[in-house]
Homo-oligomer: A and B are copies of this chain.
Amino acid sequence: MSYRATLDFLLYDWLAADTLVARERFADHSRETFDSVLDTCERLARDKFAPFNRRADTEEPWFDGQKVHLPESSHAAAAAYAETGMLAAAQDYEVGGMQLPCVVQMAANSFFSKAGIGVGGAAMLTSGNANLLMVHGTRLQQEVFARNEFAGRFSGTMCLSEPQAGSSLSDITTRATPDGTDFERDPLGPRYRLRGNKMWISNGEHELTENIVHLVLAKIPGPDGRLIPGTRGISLFIVPKWLVDTQGQLTGERNDVALAGLNHKLGYRGIPNTLLNFGEGRFPVRPESADGSTGAGAIGYLVGRPHEGLACMFHMMNEARIAVGLGATMLGYAGYEASLDYAKARPQGRPVGPGGKDPTAPQVPIIRHADVKRMLLAQKAYCEGALALELYCARLVDELRTGPAEGAADVALLLDVLTPVAKSWPSEWCLEANSLAIQVHGGYGYTRDFPVEQYWRDNRLNMIHEGTHGIQALDLLGRKVVMQGGRGLELVVARMRESADRARAVPALERHAAALDDAVRQLVAATRAAWATGVPDEALANATPYLQAFGHVAIAWMWLNVAIRSAALLDGATDADADARRGRLAACAYFFAYELPRIGAWLGVVASRDATCRTMQESWF
């Protein structure tokens, strides 16, 4: 099946995205308008992104001391993407948006991730940045910054980490001090001077757009001049690379934000990753300021209220986490497609017959070997299962935004619980899919003449950025499944059981229904056992195996839903569709036979609160 056919099935046959047009916000839309967006993105990804994916890797961004260079093809791709209007896909018409459902937006963006994750800039960062301002910014901040980001004139970043503070955001030391006595009267927002270093900033410096809008976490010192410990002291600022007036026009003043260096990465190289120095005086700006400053200090405008910056940033981070999961999924899918093509074309070996092999028979394409089919089925099960989860989460976002108000709290909670899984599971398993894609290619897969080694390198980032695997695990077991007395877990479990109930009515799926029920039972029991002593240390020592198990159960649940729908549609299908449905049923069977049983090993240590890791001593290593 083509990817598009798979996407259409998930989007329409399974998630019934076309029924969203009954809602007021999407009333101008139809299946046709959705399809037209998908068509455009599919075509653009094929023409402007895919051909340049390798180039984005080999022509790594470089800095000549003045500016960062990217291949011309990346400039062209970024411009073409901006022209589609996809940067504002989900926004209101009145700000230039398309009022697309989130699930359609994600589906449309998936083509670009698959074609070239690092080509054409990190559009997701620009959208996410602007979307955040539409929620937390002032009207003028929205007009000056967000609208220009949606239009593709400006791009956006998120500046959280510092060299000494990655996972531990509470330890950031970037300071923001009021800029002059009139600092509160700037129309763009309370004006501060920022000083500090930000690390791992994707798209932190480039020439793809006229301006770069940095969203920066920094601490406003207390009355004693000291930084407030913990996350309570964190505030959020807009720090543009070039200062702008209230019309959004560049004033020509370079803000004091300097590129300290580019990080040289293993993969994901099309997107420059930077260390930025804020306010070190490299670009003195407005030295005539009332405080008599030398012009050192990057000018930034407060977003939202002081000390509430992290909550605002999480608006962007949750969106980013689902986007990371989708990116990981599509990298996996790209490898699956490449290895499927290779396996159909490459002759090698012969099937084993009852009498062994007949060396005089011609070689067969490797797709006929059971072990190669296993590697392809695993990739299909990982990538399509992950895609189902990402789209399911996107569909929940639509439900939250446009669904009935009375269910909204539950939907929000469900989404909260699923977010760390949606981020982490594809990061781990679609990476494994990429490794299998290499393996299917044999020695050829290990060369740079085939695309699969790059997918594998690119994908390795996803378990690290936007909160590492370990951080997602603590979020899931330490917060999400216990908050509101465990209501989030209850909601997920109820939906899983409901799926199992429906599957029980389908003869081909009865066994899977029972397996999912049993898995859910194990998961719930392990959650309880982990917290049985109430000691966080003991519960959380095995948070990562818990996250892994939770993810596998969630994907089994997705596959069961997909299988229910596929089985229902199998009757009376045309041949090609029937094949696709049988393929989905086989992938579901693969997942239940080969994958779901893995949870036993993971949940075993969770349920017993195994102390091996927790009690290991440094000197014993």
The distance in angstroms between the C-alpha atoms of A544 and B439, with both chains bound, is 13
Chain B residues with Cβ under 8 A from A161's Cβ?
443
Chain B residues with Cβ under 8 A from A354's Cβ?
535-536
User: A449: which of B231, B264, B376, B544 is its contact (CB, 8 Å)?
Assistant: B264
Contact B367 A448 (CB under 8 A): no
Contact B265 A446 (CB under 8 A): yes
A-B contact pairs, 13 of them (CB 8 A): A167-B442, A199-B443, A370-B613, A373-B613, A374-B613, A439-B464, A439-B470, A445-B464, A579-B617, A586-B615, A593-B610, A594-B601, A594-B612
A408 in contact (CB, < 8 A): no
Interface residues of A (CB under 8 A from B): 1, 161, 164-168, 170-171, 199-200, 229-231, 263-267, 340, 344, 347-354, 356, 359-360, 363, 367-374, 376-377, 380, 435, 438-439, 442-443, 445-449, 453, 456-457, 460-461, 463-465, 468-470, 473-474, 478, 535-537, 540-545, 579-580, 582-583, 586, 589-590, 593-595, 597-598, 600-601, 604-605, 608, 610, 612-621
* A176 nearest CB across to chain B (Å): 18
Chain B residues with Cβ under 8 A from A352's Cβ?
478, 536-537, 540
Q: Which B residue sits closest to A465, measured CB to CB?
A: B443
* Contact status of A266 and B620, CB under 8 A, knowing A168-B349, A435-B460, A605-B594: no
The distance in angstroms between the C-alpha atoms of A184 and B614, with both chains bound, is 70
Central interface residue in A373, A449, A544, A595, by most chain B CB within 10 Å = A373
Contact A166 B536 (CB under 8 A): no
The distance in angstroms between the C-alpha atoms of A461 and B442, with both chains bound, is 9
The distance in angstroms between the C-alpha atoms of A446 and B372, with both chains bound, is 30
Contact A621 B167 (CB under 8 A): no
- Report how many copies the assembly holds: 2
Interface of A is mostly: helix
The distance in angstroms between the C-alpha atoms of A146 and B349, with both chains bound, is 34
Q: Which B residue sits closest to A449, measured CB to CB?
A: B264
Contact B1 A370 (CB under 8 A): no
Contact A612 B537 (CB under 8 A): no
Contact A464 B443 (CB under 8 A): yes
Chain B residues with Cβ under 8 A from A605's Cβ?
593-594
* A548 nearest CB across to chain B (Å): 11
User: A266: which of B348, B446, B465 is its contact (CB, 8 Å)?
Assistant: B446
* A160 nearest CB across to chain B (Å): 12
User: A470: which of B340, B350, B371, B583 is its contact (CB, 8 Å)?
Assistant: B371
Given contacts A166-B348, A263-B449, 13 further A-B contacts (CB under 8 A): A171-B363, A344-B618, A352-B537, A370-B537, A371-B470, A371-B474, A439-B464, A446-B464, A586-B615, A593-B610, A593-B612, A600-B600, A600-B601
The 9 tightest CB contacts between A and B, nearest first, are: A230-B359, A583-B620, A597-B601, A370-B541, A229-B359, A374-B613, A266-B453, A371-B470, A168-B349
Contact A620 B359 (CB under 8 A): no
Q: Which B residue sits closest to A468, measured CB to CB?
A: B442
* A470 nearest CB across to chain B (Å): 4
User: A619: which of B348, B470, B579 is its contact (CB, 8 Å)?
Assistant: B579
Q: Which B residue sits closest to A263, measured CB to CB?
A: B447
Chain B residues with Cβ under 8 A from A597's Cβ?
600-601, 604
Chain B residues with Cβ under 8 A from A545's Cβ?
594
The distance in angstroms between the C-alpha atoms of A411 and B291, with both chains bound, is 84
